[in-house]
Amino acid sequence: MEPRGRHLATGAGLRQRHPALVLCAALLVGCVAVGVVGIAFLHQLRAFDAPYRPGGADPLYSQAPVPPEAGLSVPPSGHESPAWSALTGSPLTRLRVTETTDCDLPALRGRSTSRDTLQEHLTALAGCLDRQWAPVLTEAGLTFEPVSVVVFDPHRGTGSACGGKESAVPAVYCPSERTIYVSSSVGKHRSGTANWTELTVVSVLGHEYGHHLQSLTGVLDDADAAAAQGADGSADMARRIESMATCLGALSHGRLGGAQQITQGYYARMIDPGTYRADASHGSAATQAFWAKRGYDADGDTSRCATFSAPAEQMR
């Protein structure tokens, strides 16, 4: 008679004498393995959906392929015009967003968001950004004006005072109208976790709102004047303008609360050069990721977005 509780039997003896026990043991091992993998997967999901905190050292995101951050310095010679001096000393780079603005918006649901739903969502989001920046600019003695948002049909263009080429882009800001035009196609993208569409919309509108801040504080006018006074070529100027808007948009997103609060997973996505497409106006993918990271890590300090004081190597 076999002793009871021979738990350590191994090899052929176990297979011959206790086939049911072998099956149970195999199922138990499988369940444990699935449980371990499941716990690890759930932990990763929680990490991706966890709110981002500047300066965090979560190892899941420490390997994001972003260019090394260097201190900003005055760019090379050729930027001595009065307008360029106004750009490097702009009050827009001496502000601080200290408060978190709660921003709970109508959800973008389904595989394809209707134009009316997207318009409602974006109008509410613009209102959040207005509430975020109005006291900051007012306290600094700067004039604040709210922004308007219009969702346009990409096949018909915007019909704005700023020209017709906007139909080729997802969003554009028209300074003369203080209006952000957003293509209805923005509401048709679905990727990542359930709330990533909403977060992507924040990024799109945040970038254009950065241009609104540039317009309110005279940066866009000074950029035009600097170009007329012989500053760097149009491509360099455009990259400095666009990189500042990217940085300011990320900074704004980092100060939003509620459902629009940035998560660790989305942060990792937005500081990854693989997320961006290089072009002459916005620079390389690495440059775009670099300035997005500066904005998200700025802790509300707009001096981190001083692209007109950046050396040429950070604007390629």
* Structure confidence by residue, pLDDT tens digits, 86-138: 999 999 999 999 999 999 888 776 556 788 889 999 999 999 999 999 999 99
User: For the ranges 66-80, 153-167, 212-226, which has the lowest average pLDDT?
Assistant: 66-80
Question: Residue 109: how many CA atoms within 13 Å on its side-chain side?
Answer: 3
Residues 66 and 308 sit within 8 Å (Cβ to Cβ): no
Mean pLDDT on 184-210: 78
Report how far residue 203's alpha carbon sits from residue 270's, in angstroms, rounded to the nearest whole number: 9
- pLDDT score of 99: 94
Q: Which two tokens stand for residue 161?
A: 């005072």
Cα–Cα nearest to 214, from 234, 237, 184: 237
pLDDT of residue 231: 57
- What is the DSSP secondary-structure string of 20-32? HHHHHHHHHHHHH
What distance, in Å, lies between the first and last C-alpha atoms of the chain? 81
What percentage of the chain reaches a pLDDT higher than 90?
44
Write the pLDDT tens digit of every residue in 259-316: 888 889 889 999 999 999 998 889 999 999 999 999 999 999 999 999 999 988 888 8
Average pLDDT over residues 198-203: 88
Nearest-angstrom CA–CA distance, 90 and 171: 25
Q: pLDDT band at 165, cuts 50/70/90?
A: low
* pLDDT band (50, 70, 90) for residue 51: low
The pLDDT score that the predictor gives to residue 43 is 34
pLDDT at 167 (0 to 100): 55
The pLDDT of residue 151 is above 80: yes
Q: Of 55-64, 134-143, 230-239, which has the strongest mean pLDDT?
A: 134-143
Band (pLDDT 50/70/90 cuts) for residue 170 is: confident
pTM of the model: 0.77
Segment among 61-65, 134-138, 189-193 with least mean pLDDT: 61-65
User: What distance in Å separates the CA atoms of residue 266 and residue 49, rounded to the nearest whole number?
Assistant: 8
* Selected residue with higher pLDDT from 211 and 229: 211
Q: Say what percent of the chain tops pLDDT 70.
A: 67
Which of the two residues, 200 and 143, has the higher pLDDT score?
143
Report pLDDT for 135.
Answer: 98
d(CA 16, CA 113): 62
Distances (CA, A) of 29 to 14, 26, 98, 237: 16, 5, 52, 62
The residue that leads in pLDDT, 10 or 269, is 269
8 vs 295, higher pLDDT: 295
Say yes or no to pLDDT of 169 above 90: no
Per-residue pLDDT at 207 exceeds 60: yes
Asked if the model's pLDDT at residue 184 lies above 80, the reply is: yes
Averaged over 148-168, what is the pLDDT?
79
Q: What is the mean pLDDT of the chain?
A: 76
